[in-house]
Structure 1
């Protein structure tokens, strides 16, 4: 869709929505999207090109697909209604990762290198991470399409400041990879993580390479390629331990090392390796004690608190609900990001569901949704837990659970 077509389409969506007396947040809830996504569609920022998404939007507005897009054949629209919707608020970002990231910079012939505005680019990357940590994926998607092209071009034209730009580029791609993993878009996350590692190596900052490897290991966990996750993170741990000084180790290196142990614990838990998962949690706890505080080096949020959050998740994955609740209820996570606090509440909700504590589970999930609405809708385990609670409650399911299931698209 051209910019003009997107704006015209968005105007039709807004007109139909207003004619039915719906607010943007009401339409968003009806179609399992966010108000930010609806706003971007209506402003012509977010393209709607897939037939299944178009059908979803038409159903939410109570109109036909042809009313929204007259050029779409009726037969094609009918076929789209049988397609399972797999899109999310990062659709626009996914497009920005497709193909070569800076073709115009390859073709441009310049006598002098350009001087990038490092301060402005740094602020842009910080903004990407703020949106990622807040699980505000619709806003992040738009920001990515603006920031990544500028960074990719600057990396090719920066001259003497190339290392600084490549470092920022790596940090940006790590934010993208983290967001895609959380939205269950592992293939796109793989591309982003790989680009992050490559850019970090060109920056001359080896610890950023290891941080990128951490993102890649999470991709493999999400893809259920647990052997690859274990190999990727395990080889990084071995290399780091061989080079970190035993006396007065850099805290940044400890943050990366501890985070890699946590992803190893996750992979072990997902593959049912109970003893190995606990061993990796113990390794991470030891590193956290050595670090002595909660930090956010490389946006990893590693520290004693985050280790315990992962211990809760690991216990839930292993089916040890009692242990998960014992550990989780002692955690004070107020200083961590909304996304991380939301994840803890989701895991506590899963643990309560395993114990069939219906009220407590619903409360945890609702609080998680309040902290990071977009996370609960795209968290695979959260949606599975909501479906399980619906089955447990049966016909007497509380109205707040039924409404949550609809918002999370977890009714099927």
Structure 2
């Protein structure tokens, strides 16, 4: 039997047990009654965020809705662990045995680390080589006693620290360490505030917003966005406008996950879109904000609403070749998910292979990517079975 039908049947059974109508549950979850009806009939596959909303409204664990009713602990993740050298550098303060690097030299190394992170297909492996010593040297630079005449050097060291911890926020989150992601995000905020740098303070807020979205706390993320925009004030420079737009995009995602889809679209068009038109495509504070990123968020809104056909039509109009690797990966992952919702297995396989070529280490660490590989291996036709099985083995799926 089609597993999507079983999921839909479980949703319907639990809804009826609670005496809820489709109209009520759909309204509370921010989806249409027709969409919920199609989910219950197995015609549509709910996105993860929709499934989470339904589980909350029905007060039923997601695991029960998808058929995993085992009381045992979940099996250990096959996701590659975070490099222990990076973890140790973050958690264990080493004694300073050499002089701290000059801020100018530190800036070059931080920028080089960001280049690896945003451009290298093997960015986890390469970052793990440079980050431990860079963390230690950055902390050493912050502990250095600067004279009054060297206050400019101190501020640059603080800005370098903020930028490094922004990178580490993404690294830790992608490596599955949300706890460390929060730790370094807080360090980045403190460094930005110590440097009295409004743009980096806004970037620290943007980073925190992404962590809250990643831990499924959209209400808190929306509050963070409001505070960040308030601190930033009326943007009067390109940098401030880009950061305001990036914060608005966090608000777009937060509203979408709260079921406020019309509000999310309005924010995307009237606020984020206007900022994007003013600044064009860029990478201020590594946010990749601009018209292309706004278009990618519009595609995501369609996908989250279950409108995969519309999302794919929009994807065909977007050129991501000039975007950093991380954003290209997210885009292709969402395209694969749209095909997955439509049960277009050949297209899903093609996109997953594209993702492996683009960033194999990211695919091995992507929960959504891994789940799509597992689902595809379970249902794929014999024609593609060997390709899917080989892909599953390469990304570490037993």
TM over 0.5, shorter chain: yes
CA–CA distance in structure 2, aligned partners of residues 251 and 184 of structure 1: 33
- How many pairs align? 317
After TM superposition, give the deviation of residue 178 of structure 1 in Å: 1.4
Cα distance in 2 for partners of 1:98, 1:281 equals 39
Q: Shift of the alpha carbon at 1:259?
A: 1.0
**In 2, Cα distance between equivalents of 1:267 and 1:184:** 21
Q: TM-score, normalised by structure 1?
A: 0.71
Structure 2 residue corresponding to 1:189, chosen from 178, 181, 185:
181
Contact 2:103–2:141 under 8 Å retained in 1: no
- Assess, with a 3 A threshold, how the Cα gap between structure 1 residues 276 and 92 changes in structure 2: closer, same or farther: farther
Contact 2:299 2:311 in 1 (8 A): yes
Superposition deviation, residue 205 in structure 1: 0.8
Q: In the alignment, which residue of structure 1 is the partner of 2:373?
A: 386
Question: Is 1:287 the equivalent of 2:298?
Answer: no
Gaps in structure 2 of 5+ consecutive residues: 1-74
CA distance in 1, matches of 2:354, 2:347: 11
Contact 2:100–2:140 (CA<8 Å) still a contact in 1? no
Q: 1:95: how far off?
A: 2.4
The normalised TM-score by structure 2 is: 0.74
Find the residue that maps to 2:328 and give its secondary structure: helix
Aligned 1:325-404 pairs, distance under 5 A: 325-393=312-380, 397-404=384-391
- C-alpha spacing 1:410/1:258, structure 2 compared with 1 (3 Å): farther
Query: Aligned residue for 1:141?
Result: 128
For 1:281 and 1:387, locate their aligned partners in 2 and report how far apart those are by CA, in whole Å. 33
Residue of 125, 129, 139 corresponding to 2:110: 125
Contact kept, 8 Å, 1:258 with 1:284, in 2: the verdict is: yes
State the partner residue of 2:234.
243
User: What's the secondary structure of 1:162's corresponding residue?
Assistant: helix
Corresponding position: 1:95 with 2:88: yes
Match of 1:306 among 284, 287, 293: 293
Q: Assess, with a 3 A threshold, how the Cα gap between structure 1 residues 298 and 332 changes in structure 2: closer, same or farther.
A: same
Please give the alpha-carbon distance, in whole angstroms, between the structure 2 residues aligned to 1:86 and 1:208.
31
Q: Whole-Å Cα distance in 2 between the matches of residues 255 and 275 of structure 1? A: 23
Give the structure 2 partner of residue 3 of structure 1: none
Q: Which one is further off, 314-323 or 158-167?
A: 314-323
Aligned partner of residue 319 in structure 2, secondary structure: coil
Structure 1, unpaired ranges of 5+? 1-81, 109-113
What is the alpha-carbon distance in structure 2 between the residues aligned to residue 310 and residue 369 of structure 1?
23
Distance 2:114 2:229 in 1: 25
Please state how far the C-alpha of 1:297 moved relative to its aligned partner.
0.9
In 2: Cα distance, 1:266 partner to 1:358 partner? 28
- Residue 218 of structure 1: CA displacement? 0.8
1:358-395: per-residue Cα shift (whole Å, max 9, x none)? 11121112112211111111112222222232333265
CA distance in 1, matches of 2:264, 2:255: 5
Aligned 1:27-46 pairs, distance under 5 A: none
Q: Structure 1's 183 and 275: CA in aligned 2 closer, same or farther, altered over 3 A?
A: farther
> What per-residue deviation string (whole Å, max 9, x for no partner) do you get for residues 272-299 of structure 1?
33223323322222210121x2111111
Q: Which has the higher contact order (CA 8 A, sep 6+)?
A: 2
SS of alignment partner, residue 398 of structure 1: helix
Cα 1:409–1:271 shift into 2, 3 Å: farther
